[in-house]
Structure formats: C-alpha cells, structure tokens
Amino acid sequence: MADEQLDLGIPMPEGSKGKGGSKERSDQDGPPRRLGDDETIDYISNKDILKLTDAERVRQRIAEVLVHQYGVHPDDMARDYVLQVPNPETGRMSRRRASIAIFEHGKPKSPETLKRIVVTKARPKGGRTVTKIRTYAQADAQLEELRELMLAAGPSCTLGMWTDDKDLYFVERKDTRFEPEFHPLPNWPRGDDTEFDATRDATSLAQLRHADEYMLRFAFRRCHNFVHGNEGLPKDAAFWQFLYVLFAKIHDERLVREHGSVPRFRVGQDDLDRRGNTGSPTVARRIRELFGEVKEFYDDQGLFDQRDELTLSDAALTFITSELAPYNLYATPIDAKGIAYQELVGDNLRGDRGQYFTPSGAVKLMVDILDPQEDETVFDPCCGTGGFLRETLNHLLARWRRENPTATLPDLRKRLAAYARGHIYGADFDPFLRRAAAMSVMMLTDVAGNAYQMDSIAFPDGHLPGNDEAKGVEQIQLGTVQVLMTNPPFGSDIPFSESAVLGKYRERAPKWGVAWAYSKKDGKLERTGLATAVAPEQLFVQRSIEWVRPGGRIGIVLPNGILSNPGPSDEAVRRFILQECWVMASVELPVETFIYDAGVNILTTLLFLRRKTAEEKQAEDFHGAEDYPVFMAVAEKVGIDRRGNPVYERSPEGSVKYEEFTTMETLRMGGVETRRPIKRQRPILDNDLPRIAQEYHEFAKRYEHELPWKARP
C-alpha cells in the first residue's frame, strides 16, 4: 500500500502533476519562479504547486485551521493520502484518497499511524444564498465516504471530519465486539489527543480552545443560516436571535471565569444526536435562562428591552449551542471575533438612508493615519455597525502588545474595557445599527459601547431616544471631541430639506445651505438665494468640523465629487474646509474598495483634517494663507477585484510575488503542547493601502517642521 501513497511531501519530477493538479515548484530553495492565476503553494508541504480549484480552496483553508485551532503540525499531515477501500459491487479493492490524513507525531506515515481523516469538497454553488443546514442523518450519504476511509485506515484512525465550507461534521469511530460504530461529535480535541470520552458534553473535549478566524466565521454563518433557513425567520430577525444566544455564551464564560460556576452553555452526546430534529429541551431551557441573566446584567446600559425575547425552537438552540460550546470566546483574539461579527452584520443589516458600511481596508488606513492615543476620545457620528470604533480598539491593543509583549490577555482586556468605557463613542440614526455597534464593542471588551440613537445633524436638538442622553455626555459635546472618524451617508437622493436645520447651519457658516452661482462679471461666487435642500455630505463636513475641538483630528469618507466638482456648491464646501482646517492628507480609493464589501459603485476619498485654533485663523487673516506640504495618494489596488477575487503583486516578468511568514503556534505533539514557529509562504496581495499608511508616516516625519498641524493640542 505504501507504493500507492501520493504527494506526501516527496519531490515529484519538475513540471509533473499528480491527481489534484499538484506539481513541484521549480526552485526548491525559494518561492516559485512563476505561478499561474489559478495556482497556489500547498500549505501542508510548503512547496508543492496546486491548481486552485474550488475544492482545493476549501482544503487549503482547513489545513491552516488544523494548525491554528487544533495544534496539528503540518509535518504530521499528508495530502491526497491513498487507501484501499473494498468495493461492495465488485468485491475488489479500489483506491480512495483522503483529502488530508493526520498521523501520529514523529512516526512514519502509514495506515498504522493514521489518526484522523479529513474529507473536503467544493463549496456548493449559490454564493451567499442561505440554504437549510443538514443534520447528520440528512448528510448520511456524504458521510459514507468518510466512514469508508476511516474503516480502511484501520483501528488507529478514530476521528473524521467532512466539510464543503457550508456543512461541517465531526465523527468518532468506536470499535465494538461486532462492527465499528460511528457517532457524531460537536468538535475535535486538539493535536494527537485522541483518547477521550465522546459521551461527555462539548465543553469537556480536552479544553475549550480559542477559535481560528475562519472557523469562527464558519460557525457564525452556520448558526445564522440554520435560524434563517430552518426557523423561517427573515435575515435580520435571524441575526438578532443568533446574537442573543451568542451573548448567552459570553455571559456563561464570564460566570465560569469569575465565579467558577458550572458551565451551562453546553450540549451532551444525546443532545447532539437530536440536533436539527426536535432538539434538547434541557439545553434550550439553560440557554433561555442565560439570556434572561444577560438582559439583567446589561440593564443599566440599556442594551436590551422588553422587546428582546429569545423565540428560537429547542432544535435551533441545541444546534447553535453545539456549534459554539467548544470555543473559548474570551481567549479568542479580538480581531478574529470582530471580523466574524462584522461579516455577519454586513450580510444582514443594511441601512436605507445612504449608509455604506466601510470596508475594513479603508477603516484600518484611517485609524492608522489618525493614530488615536489612549487619552483621546474617539467619536463616530454615523457609526453604523461600529467599524471605526472596533478598529480603534484593535489599533490600541496592537500598540500595547508591542510595548509590553509579556502582558497577559486578561490584563489587556481590562485595559481595553476601561478605554472603551470612557473614550469610545458612536451615534447613528438607525436604532438597529446603533445597537449592533454597541454589541460590536461588547464582543471585544465585555463592555457595551457608548452608542446613541440620534440625528447627528440636528444635535443637540432632536427627538430620537438617545439625543437627551448624549447631551449629558461631556466628551462628545460640540467642540470637544479629540478624534472623529466617520463615513457619513451621502447622495442627492437623500437631501436635508428641513428649514430649521438648514437655518442653524447658515448661521454658523453663512455660505452653507444657500444657492450660489459664478458671477458673469468677475467669475466669483455670488449668492442667488436660499437652497431648499442640501446633500447630507455637505452638512456632515461642517458638523464634523464643529464637533472636534480646536486641534482635533478628523477622518471622513467623501464622494470624490465634493472635492473635485467645479460647481459653486461644492467649491463652497472646499473653501469652508480650507478656512477651518489644515489638510493633513487625501487618499483617493478605487471603486473596488466599495463594490465588493458594500455593493456600491462609487469613487471616494479619505480626507484627513486638523481643526485650526483661533490663534491660527487669526494669524492667517493677518499674514495670508500659509503654504504647507499635504500628503496626497491615489490607491489603485486594494487586494481584490470587483468580484472579490484576490489580486497579487507580480514581477516585471509576470510571476506572482511571495513572502515568507512565521506564526507561533501551540502544537500538540506526543501528548504535550509546545509553542513552536511555523514558517510558510504566501502570495503577496496587491494592496496599496498598507503602503500608503507607511508612506504617510514617513512623510509626516520628513516634513515634521513644515507641517502646521503637527503640534498636538
């Protein structure tokens, strides 16, 4: 049988291919000299070139998950491992391949040392279409292939996994006096720790483990799809119901961690067998009790009210519990939780007032350039689901880790929670987005974010529920904010026409909210009357400037037209900006930035400003406008095309550029967990945004003495 094993890290002749489209790279000591658009370097071997089919994409993702989440060393894996499986129709043996075979650490790769088998398939067609999640019984035909491979491997192979990036099943083999039996599992244990009692509940499988980003997104998506597809709820209602259960999980972890309570967010083997059918009344009762406690715990923060009721069936609650119970969300990196949460929010909560959720690359660039400090208040008056607030927390956490690499996660989380409680603020017109933003901050810090439902243009006036509360918060009064970041709604189809609102803006900025035209006599702007409607982005520019204190910093997403259109109205906006602010930077984004993530085809610019002090404005009035360097950049690539496919850097000859990266992983070898570096290679995304951030910081340092806005307030 050993003669029939393929692709176990053994170099193949140059240019040759085996099943699965693999070939050895042409330069074994470095990255491949040339790689096709539909090829990649195998994560397991770190050298074989594979054709990147839909099925291969799934396998490569799972291979990384096996390292990051389950602590399996790549050296203990094999791709396309061949086993002899009996054919019941002919009685003869046929060759079958396990997508990934996992062997006992340090032992030769053979059926006798084969411990686990993974079968991966291409994701079903249909994009983001929600379909019903199948139970183990409904997926029996697909799981038969996995069972046959496990039987062919022999008694040492006791664990199996099957996935197509939509469904995911874990199986355990138990030998009996007669025939082996196969039972569903909530999850796998880590590493080579294959001896455990499968009758125990999901919270007892070895240890709760932190979630790999891909697997957490996978679990969140499956839970939401189960509620949407199996419970008959619309997408937004399914989102909130899933979120209630998610916070019950977080609350249960808090009680266990702080008080040593017995975990209640768990599911046993008998419950798992019935999930998706009738579910477990016992599991469902515990989850409903936990959510009741969640509402009480956050009562003083106004996060839930009497309308928030957990209405899911026992089957749905049992399913979600089995999916989430094995993970330790407290120990999971906050960026992984944030990405998983944001993806789910973006797919299910869409505003209808011109809100376009800001893609993560643009959010990171804005936070990087503005560089909020630990003593500064950050405010987003159009916070949506809280992207800028969440990235600010990630930004500070990364800085603290660089400053103190030995800091423990509990200490960092406490520090982050303290910062979020006193310095992170958001507001939005939409009550559902407002609450989604508050919960986003809570996902990362255990503290509900300071988010208010209010009309930011009308503030401090307004009738919405959060307006009066926000008026009592000293940190976010007009003229007090230190760092403001926002992506306001914009578009001529949602103008502001309220005369009371426009009147107040005209008082503070006389050129605002009026009709203007160029004089035929001298070409200067002249007033022709009052405008009856104003585009929201124009008012938000003024409001953003008014909200920050003198010396405060602003980052705002604007449509390109407001900065480049020759019309008198847009010119008035630009004149107002130059009168009130120093321009720190301007970064134009390509259409791909918003097309895939937000679903809109629009050219935008990130504009960075610092509000002038009264003294600086007086000096300009006396001496005239000051000339100073302004950082300007045009991003041409953001790492993806219009369809979301990755775009890679290429050499002049056309070959894809690669980089080597190292991650420190906790690997389970010989029953012992060991921290070891894992070196791998990956293609470099052609993304201008990180380079622009780096060049901006170099620019600011190079022209430090020539920039009037460099002095900190």
pLDDT digits (tens, 9 = 90+) for 276-329: 457 889 999 999 999 999 998 888 777 787 888 999 999 899 989 988 888 888
Cβ atoms 47, 57 nearer than 8 A = no
Residue 174 within a domain? yes
Predicted pLDDT at 513: 46
Domain check: are 353 and 314 in the same one? no
What's the mean pLDDT in 169-174? 90
Cβ atoms 183, 198 nearer than 8 A = yes
Predicted pLDDT at 193: 52
15-19, 30-34, 582-586 — which is least confidently predicted? 15-19
Domain check: are 180 and 231 in the same one? no
How long a stretch of residues is the chain?
A: 713
Cβ atoms 641, 592 nearer than 8 A = yes
Question: Cα Rg for the chain, rounded, in angstroms?
Answer: 28
Residue 660 within a domain? no
The CATH number that applies at residue 618 is: 3.40.50.150
Predicted pLDDT at 400: 94
- Residue 301's domain comprises 213-324
482, pLDDT greater than 60: yes
Residue 686 within a domain? no
Cβ atoms 245, 308 nearer than 8 A = no
Query: Which DSSP category does 208 fall into?
Result: -
183, pLDDT greater than 70: yes
* Tokens 């702007």 sit on residue: 525
Q: How confident is the model at residue 222 (pLDDT cuts 50, 70, 90)?
A: confident
| Greatest CA separation for the chain | 102
Complete edge-to-edge strand list for the sheet that includes strand 39-41: 22-24, 48-51, 39-41
Domain check: are 377 and 439 in the same one? yes
- Rounded CA separation 199/208 (Å): 16
Domain check: are 261 and 315 in the same one? yes
Residue 518 within a domain? yes
Domain check: are 381 and 504 in the same one? yes
Of all helices (H) and strands (E), which one includes residue 259?
A: helix 235-259
Domain check: are 358 and 319 in the same one? no
Domain count, the chain: 3
Domain check: are 63 and 7 in the same one? yes
What's the mean pLDDT in 71-77? 90
Is cis: bond before 431, omega within 30 of 0? no
Residue 649 within a domain? no
213-222, 278-287, 386-395, 509-518 — which is least confidently predicted? 509-518
Residue 669 within a domain? no
3-class state of residue 546 by DSSP? helix
153-167, 282-296, 486-500, 668-682 — which is least confidently predicted? 486-500
Query: What does the mean pLDDT of the chain come to?
Result: 80
Domain check: are 231 and 104 in the same one? no
Query: Which DSSP category does 453 fall into?
Result: E
Domain check: are 402 and 524 in the same one? yes
Residues 390, 396, 397, CA angle at the centre, nearest 5°?
90
Predicted pLDDT at 265: 92
Q: Is beta strand 378-380 parallel, antiparallel or unpaired with respect to 481-486?
A: parallel
Closest by Cα among 590, 406, 594, 393 to 491: 594
Domain check: are 192 and 221 in the same one? no
Residue 652 within a domain? no
The conformational region for residue 393 under phi > 0 = left, psi -120 to 50 = alpha, else beta, is alpha
- Rounded CA separation 265/267 (Å): 7
Domain check: are 188 and 227 in the same one? no
Q: How confident is the model at residue 518 (pLDDT cuts 50, 70, 90)?
A: low
Domain check: are 379 and 311 in the same one? no
Residue 259 within a domain? yes
| Domain final residue, candidates 145, 164, 197 | 197
- Rounded CA separation 30/343 (Å): 35
